[in-house]
């Protein structure tokens, strides 16, 4: 056997071993890395490999990896948002639902299906998915409240009913605090895009009224809200009001440091030119 042949076989064995060691979780992690680099076709190839392994494991009665199930949720999102392939997105949603043995994964599957229907403009079917979530395990019911409210406000354009539903969801401390704040920020951003600074300020001001289990989480979100309110006031030349918000953000001891720092810098800048 020639040296070249031995070298080739060694490379083949190494390559095979690496491929064999790629777990479902690893394949999905590789797909996420590729997608972040806008290599969506290559990412989808990794996902399809992972799905083959998931199906094989399910057929033999093996316990499915958490990373594999969560990877299907990511796959549905990738297909919908980056490839605009709704049929493939539904395929991954259905696969996640099929492999689930409880609402722990069925609810995320329904949430992804609802998002895909929304992207298609089929709001009745999206609503049906949210209705199904509402009748699921009590621990999972809250997961559909916020996205359903967002659909009414953003997608259907019903601001009156949507604002009411979003406000009710924001006051629901069973919903993740960061998720609630992200929705609130989206509403403020939409208001600013429409040229309504007062409405944007109103959304951020709600943070002071929201319930939180942890004082630290409340402080982190408050520091960001006050900083954003300062920026809004500054853009319309209301320096005195901007300074009040910046100072509150800066002096909030448990606030998020980057917003405390930005508030300090903004405050110093205003005072420098006064």
The reported pLDDT for the residue numbered 229 is 98
Nearest by Cα to 184 from 140, 150, 215: 150
The reported pLDDT for the residue numbered 137 is 78
Map residue 4 onto helix, strand or coil.
Answer: helix
Q: Could you identify the residue written with the tokens 């289990």? A: 213
Residues 6+ apart with CB under 8 A from 226: 204, 245, 246, 248, 249, 252, 259, 263
The reported pLDDT for the residue numbered 187 is 97
Quick check: 86 and 116 in contact, CB under 8 A? yes
**Hey, where are the domains in the chain?**
176-274
Quick check: 223 and 256 in contact, CB under 8 A? yes
Q: Which pair of structure tokens corresponds to residue 27?
A: 């394949």
Nearest by Cα to 233 from 261, 193, 200, 203: 200
Q: Which pair of structure tokens corresponds to residue 240?
A: 């005195």
Q: Could you identify the residue written with the tokens 């490839």? A: 83
The pTM of this model reads: 0.82
Identify the CATH class of 176-274: mainly alpha
What values do phi and psi take at 83, rounded to 5? -100, -10
Mean pLDDT by 10 residues, the chain (274 residues): 44 38 88 95 95 95 93 97 96 97 93 98 97 87 94 96 96 94 97 96 96 94 98 96 97 96 96 86
Distance (Å, whole) CA 169 – CA 29: 32
């Amino acid at each position: 056997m020639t040296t070249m042949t031995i070298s080739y076989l060694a490379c083949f064995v190494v390559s095979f071993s690496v491929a064999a060691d790629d777990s479902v979780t690893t394949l999905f992690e590789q797909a996420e890395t590729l997608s972040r680099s806008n290599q969506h076709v290559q990412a989808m190839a990794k996902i399809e490999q992972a799905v083959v392994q998931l199906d094989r494991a399910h057929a033999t009665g093996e316990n499915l990896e958490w990373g594999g199930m969560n990877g299907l949720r990511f796959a549905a999102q990738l297909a919908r948002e980056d490839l605009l392939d709704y049929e493939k997105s539904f395929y991954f949603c259905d696969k996640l639902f099929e492999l689930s043995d409880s609402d722990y994964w069925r609810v995320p599957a329904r949430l992804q299906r609802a998002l895909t229907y929304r992207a298609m403009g089929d709001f009745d079917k999206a609503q049906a998915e949210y209705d199904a979530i509402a009748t699921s395990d009590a621990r999972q019911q809250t997961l559909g409240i916020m996205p359903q409210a967002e659909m009414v406000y953003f997608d259907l354009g019903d601001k009156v009913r949507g604002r009411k539903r979003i406000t009710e969801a924001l006051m629901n401390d069973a919903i993740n605090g960061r998720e609630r704040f992200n929705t609130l920020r989206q509403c403020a951003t939409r208001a600013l895009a429409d040229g309504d600074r007062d409405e944007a300020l109103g959304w951020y001001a709600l943070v002071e009224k929201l319930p939180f289990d942890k004082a630290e989480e409340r402080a982190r979100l408050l520091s960001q809200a006050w900083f954003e309110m300062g920026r809004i006031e500054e853009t319309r030349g209301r320096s005195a009001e901007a300074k009040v918000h910046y100072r509150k953000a800066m002096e909030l001891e448990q606030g998020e440091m980057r917003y405390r720092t930005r508030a300090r810098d903004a405050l110093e800048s205003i005072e420098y030119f006064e």
